[in-house]
Amino acid sequence: MLKESEIKALVVLLDDEDHEVVSHVEDKIMSIGTSIIPLLEQEWESTFNPIIQSKIEDLVHELQFELLKERFIEWKEGGGEDLLEGLWIVATYLYPDLEIEELSGQIEQLYHELWRHMEDEMTPYDRIKVFNEVFFNKFKFRANTKNFHSPANSMINAVLESKKGNPISLCAVYLLLAQKMELPIHGVNLPNLFILTYQIGEESFYINVFNRGLIFTRDDIDNYLESLQLEKQDIFYDPCSHIDIILRALRNLIVSFEKLGDYHKADEIKMILQKLDDQYFSL
C-alpha cells in the first residue's frame, strides 16, 4: 500500500497534460484496489480542481464496481442462500456505502411487529390473510404504479423507506419476512409478473404481492398463460431459487436504466448479469 503522501502525488498527476502519464496514474491507482477509496474521497474533498474531482469520481466508481462484481460472484458461488445479502449487493450499485446491518435491522423490526399478529393455530389461508393485513394496511407497502420503471424499485433500501416497489422487490420484502416467520413461501418466475407460492405438503396456492397479496390457484396461472398464448412450463408454477430472484431484479434494473436513457448503467448491469447467469447472452 502506498503512503498517503504518495497517493496525493498521484492524484495531482490526474490533471497532467500528458495522456500517457494520466493513464499510467489511473492504472496504478486501480491496481491498489478498493482499499484506496477512502483516501481518494478525502482527496476529492480537499481539491478545488474540477478535472481532478471528475477523474476521482470515475476511479471510485470503477473500483466500487469491481467490488460489486466480486461480491456477486462470491455470493453466487456460496449458493446464494441469503436473499437479503443478494438484495443488498444489488442496492450497493447505487448506494455503495449502504450497510447490510441497516437493512437487517429494518427487516427485524418489521418481523417483530408482524409476529405479534400471528397465532399458532391458524390455517395457511388465515396466516396469509393476517400477513396481508399487516403488510399492506399497517406497514403500507404498495405497488409503485406511477413510477414503475424507476431504478429505486429495485433497491431494497429505497423500497423499505418508501414502502413502494415493483413485483420483484415487493415479493422480496414479503419473502424475507415470511422466511423469518418460517412460512413455506417461495418465489415463482411467471412471465411479466413475479409472484409467491405457499407450499406445504400437497397444499399449495399462490400470492400476487403486487396486487395487495391476492391469493389465487394453479388454474388461475393456467388462464394467465393462456391469455399470453404461452405453453405451460414447470418454471411458471414451481419455486425458484434466490439466485433466480436476484437475476430477475438485475434484468428489471437494466430495463429501468434503458427507459431513462442511461445506457452506461444498463451496460454495467448487463456485465454483472453475464457473470452471474450462464444462460445470459448479450445481444
The predicted-structure confidence for 31-83, as pLDDT tens digits, reads as follows 888 889 888 999 999 888 999 999 999 999 999 999 999 999 999 999 999 99
The predicted-structure confidence for 268-280, as pLDDT tens digits, reads as follows 999 999 988 865 5
pLDDT band per the 50, 70, 90 thresholds, residue 1: low
Phi-psi region of 261 (alpha: psi -120 to 50; beta: other; left: phi over 0): left
**In whole angstroms, what is the distance from residue 272 CA to residue 274 CA?**
5
Is the distance from CB of 234 to CB of 191 less than 8 angstroms? Answer: no
pLDDT over 70 at 84, yes or no: yes
Asked which of 12-26, 106-120, 193-207 is least confident by mean pLDDT, the reply is: 12-26
pLDDT at 55: 92
Domains along the chain? Answer: 4-77 (no CATH), 83-276 (3.10.620)
Residues 6+ apart with CB under 8 A from 41: 56, 60
Per DSSP, the residues of the chain read ---HHHHHHHHHGGG-S-HHHHHHHHHHHHHH-GGGHHHHHHHHHH---HHHHHHHHHHHHHHHHHHHHHHHHHHHHTTS--HHHHHHHHHTTT-TT--HHHHHHHHHHHHHHHHTT--SS--HHHHHHHHHIIIIIIS--EE--TTTT-GGGG-HHHHHHH-EE-HHHHHHHHHHHHHHTT--EEEEEETTEEEEEEEETTEEEEEEGGGTTEEE-HHHHHHHHHHTT----GGGTS---HHHHHHHHHHHHHHHHHHHT-HHHHHHHHHHHHHH-TT----
pLDDT over 60 at 283, yes or no: no
Work out the average pLDDT over 4-27.
86
pLDDT at 279: 55
The predicted-structure confidence for 255-272, as pLDDT tens digits, reads as follows 999 999 999 999 999 999
- Closest CA relative to residue 34, chosen from 9, 4, 1, 83: 1
pLDDT at 282: 41
Name the amino acid, one letter, at 50: P
pLDDT over 50 at 281, yes or no: no
pLDDT over 70 at 125, yes or no: yes
Residues 6+ apart with CB under 8 A from 67: 34
Site of grid cell 395487495: 212
Instruction: Name the pTM for this structure.
Output: 0.90
